Amino acid sequence: MLAVENVKKAFDEPGGSRLPILDVEELHLGVGEQAVLLGRSGCGKTTLLHVVAGISTPDSGEVRIDGLDITRLHEAERDRFRAETLGYIFQSFNLLPGFTALENVMLGMAFGRGRRDAGRARGLLQRVGLGQRERHRPSQLSVGEQQRVAVARALANRPRLLLADEPTASVDAKNQQQVIDLIRETCEEEEIALLLVTHAPEVAAQFERAVYLENLNKVAAQI
């Protein structure tokens, strides 16, 4: 489902030199497969997610999703591909403050060609236990509730691959497990592949497959 091969990425430094961040030789993920991505801070986990999501482009290498190399797509095509194929959960939720919970979820299906299905958005909110709070704004929700809205938003466009960047970093231990269960169960039910970044060992321990970026990333291994 996902194949990352020979992906290299470096950033410009103020002195004009280039700082290598990613040098991943190979990473594969099957349909509906769930994996946790581990690694110390600054090893390039978020950058890898951005590259897989098509938000950033690698300097070289291929990122194939369902056989399509997204690095060869034009930016607008990558945007559409992302809108229709990927889901993304951010560490800090990134809900839009002026939008209600329902509107935030519907935003997840606003940019693709698919139907803007308010029924599905409501169904997802029911599923994450916020059916009665669809008209609430993020400021009126608890931290755990906000993250559940973010999960519902990431699933709104029926993605094939869900990328989650430390989704439990901002929630307490009780909510952490609820969020992880929610993400994993939903992905399982809808056969969505999941690549989840975490620093929490108790979260990583729940996954059958854990990928250590240091093992993949030659650059990180050298640092």
Partner 1 sequence: MSLIAIAWRSLTQRALASALTGFSMALGVALVVAVLVTHHVVSDSFQRNAGLGYDVIVGAKGGKLQLVMNTVYHLSTPVENIPYSILHDLTEGKYKSYVAKATPYCLGDNYEGHRVVATVPDLFNDSEYAPGREYTFRTGRNFHPTGFFEGILGALTAERTGLKVGDTFRPTHGVSDDGQGHEHDAFTVVGVLDPTGTPNDRAIFINLEGFYLLEDHAKPVAVEHEDHEAGKRETSSVAAHEHHEMEGHEEHEHAPLPEDQRELTAILVRTSSPAASIRLPNLINEGALAQAVLPIREIGALFDVIVGPIEAVLLALTVLIVVVSGVGIMVSIYTSMSERRREIAVMRALGARRSTVRTIVLLESVLLSLTGGLTGWILGRLLIAALSPAIASRTGVVISFGHLVPAELALVPGLIFIAALAGYLPAMTAYRTDVAKALVSAP
**Cβ proximity of 155 and 186 under 8 Å:** yes
CB of 154 to partner 1, least distance (A): 9
Determine, following the binding rule CB under 8 A, whether residue 153 of this chain makes contact with partner 1: yes
CB of 15 to partner 1, least distance (A): 19
Residue 48, CA atoms < 13 Å, CB-side half-sphere: 36
Nearest to 191 by CA among 149, 148, 161, 166: 161
User: Of these, 37, 48, 101, 106, which contacts partner 1 (CB under 8 A)?
Assistant: 106
* 3-class DSSP state of 217: strand
User: Of these, 12, 76, 205, 222, which contacts partner 1 (CB under 8 A)?
Assistant: 76
Determine, following the binding rule CB under 8 A, whether residue 155 of this chain makes contact with partner 1: no
Size of site (CB under 8 A) for partner 1: 33
Residues in 111-150 that interact with partner 1 by CB under 8 A: 111-112, 116
Q: Which is nearer to partner 1, 37 or 86 (CB)?
A: 86
Residue 185, token pair as written in the block? 């169960």
Determine, following the binding rule CB under 8 A, whether residue 90 of this chain makes contact with partner 1: yes
Output the CA–CA distances (angstroms, integers) from residue 21 to 104, 166, 169, 222, in the order listed.
32, 19, 23, 11
Determine, following the binding rule CB under 8 A, whether residue 50 of this chain makes contact with partner 1: yes
Q: Which is nearer to partner 1, 46 or 175 (CB)?
A: 46
Number of neighbours of residue 26 by Cβ within 10 angstroms: 11
Determine, following the binding rule CB under 8 A, whether residue 13 of this chain makes contact with partner 1: no
Q: Which residues touch 97 (CB under 8 Å, ≥6 apart)?
A: 137, 138, 139
Determine, following the binding rule CB under 8 A, whether residue 71 of this chain makes contact with partner 1: no
- d(C-alpha 204, C-alpha 36), whole Å: 6
Residues that bind partner 1 (CB under 8 A): 46-47, 50, 53, 55-56, 75-76, 79-80, 82-84, 86, 88, 90, 92, 94, 96-99, 103, 106-112, 116, 153, 157
